[in-house]
Structure 1
């Protein structure tokens, strides 16, 4: 098949467009300065976010449940980082950038991980603590109770049949001594525990105990 003369002349007469060459952006190109500005803004914003996140402060907290009357030692404490909305709130706690005061005693129970408030701590020589011995039937005290345990003690007057729960006589107290079960049981047939209790609380407990004809103690582990 032969080509038409008109088609041949049209093809040969077409002019090809000039080739485009890539030109690298120069320092006067506004697009370059826009990119530099975006990078700078990103760096500033990121730095401010990191600075804001680092505004938290290290504060002393208890590592495990601690009862009233417990003397806090280094092993009882841990450090938590906290960001306070009001800087004045930090003054209510103990900053961890200084050692925790030695021989500090809790005046109330504190849960594991809770910050140690200054209002709940007194110096060891300023607190009126009494060690109160308890004799509990073995089936009325959890086997895991040991020195350092935080417990509550219930009293039930078996003669008056007060009920299954009885009276919650001691709340959140710390066991300061727990002789070996075999040694205590061999003498009295009971599990012996010694708890640290503020003087006024100890007196009230003894009065309640004396008011019952046939008191029965039961121990619950707090926390």
Structure 2
């Protein structure tokens, strides 16, 4: 007796596996990726180049007053980008060693860069603080503590042709209280000046002239 071979039953349709091909050069996704990578490289290069342009200079670690001799505690290194080399030369670079006797010729606020023009050697001559009352119209309105001024004395006749003599040149303003609104009608303003005592003649002349309103104060640029 012959056996019947079992007949195969039909199977459900099976999806045919397909192989994913590599994206071609025409694939827009490839070009988007290239642009993103190139942009990252350019941005990184610019950041690195910008970091190289930063110059470390000294700035004030706190509020400093005129006449103060600077120490290491008064300064903090600050990195700044200067657009012009001449601007960079105006300030004190961290890489240069500071002299031991640098004195401020004007006040500096905390965080303000220290300009080389605001520093000078510590004065060797003795000086005294002199308080003067000067007519408000004879004092520049922008005078503040740390300003530098010239002091003139008008002749005793005080006529229209009366001459004026330069008595004190390039002196430091130690204090210059601002007249408040409540005292806006004040006729005089107080100034405290640092006057050298090497020659008593100019000091005596200024003190004598301040008593009869013959002192004129001129701010220096």
What is the TM-score normalised by the length of structure 2?
A: 0.51
Kindly indicate whether residue 120 of structure 2 is the aligned counterpart of residue 112 of structure 1: no
Q: 1:75–1:46: structure 2 CA closer, same or farther, 3 Å change rule?
A: same
* Residues in 1 aligned to 2:99 and 2:106: alpha-carbon distance in whole angstroms: 17
Q: Which of the pair is proportionally richer in helix?
A: 1
Kindly indicate whether residue 66 of structure 2 is the aligned counterpart of residue 68 of structure 1: yes
Deviations 1:62-117 (A, max 9, x none): 22222222111111112222111112211111001223221101122222221111
Corresponding position of 1:21: 18
Structure 1: stretches of 5+ with no match in the other structure: 1-15, 135-149, 155-162, 172-196, 214-223
Q: Is contact 2:128–2:196 with CA below 8 Å preserved after alignment? A: no
Q: Is contact 2:55–2:80 with CA below 8 Å preserved after alignment? A: yes
Q: Is contact 1:62–1:114 with CA below 8 Å preserved after alignment? A: yes
Superposed displacement of residue 47, structure 1: 2.2
Q: 1:129–1:51: structure 2 CA closer, same or farther, 3 Å change rule?
A: farther
Kindly indicate whether residue 164 of structure 2 is the aligned counterpart of residue 167 of structure 1: no
* Residues in 2 aligned to 1:165 and 1:64: alpha-carbon distance in whole angstroms: 35
Structure 2: stretches of 5+ with no match in the other structure: 1-12, 132-172, 178-184, 213-221
Partner SS state of residue 92, structure 2: coil
Partner SS state of residue 57, structure 2: strand
Q: Is contact 2:58–2:76 with CA below 8 Å preserved after alignment? A: yes
* Residues in 2 aligned to 1:23 and 1:104: alpha-carbon distance in whole angstroms: 75
What is the TM-score normalised by the length of structure 1?
A: 0.51
For this pair of structures, how many residues does the alignment match?
149
Deviations 1:146-178 (A, max 9, x none): xxxx97255xxxxxxxx769523037xxxxxxx
Corresponding position of 1:158: none
Corresponding position of 1:103: 101
Q: Is contact 1:69–1:129 with CA below 8 Å preserved after alignment? A: no
* Residues in 2 aligned to 1:205 and 1:40: alpha-carbon distance in whole angstroms: 76
RMSD of the alignment, in Å? Answer: 4.1
* Residues in 2 aligned to 1:66 and 1:106: alpha-carbon distance in whole angstroms: 8
Deviations 1:9-50 (A, max 9, x none): xxxxxxx79646241426xx3248633453133223222134
* Residues in 2 aligned to 1:59 and 1:129: alpha-carbon distance in whole angstroms: 32
Looking at both structures, which has the greater relative contact order when contacts are Cα pairs under 8 Å and sequence separation is at least 6?
1
Q: 1:152–1:17: structure 2 CA closer, same or farther, 3 Å change rule?
A: same
Corresponding position of 1:79: 77
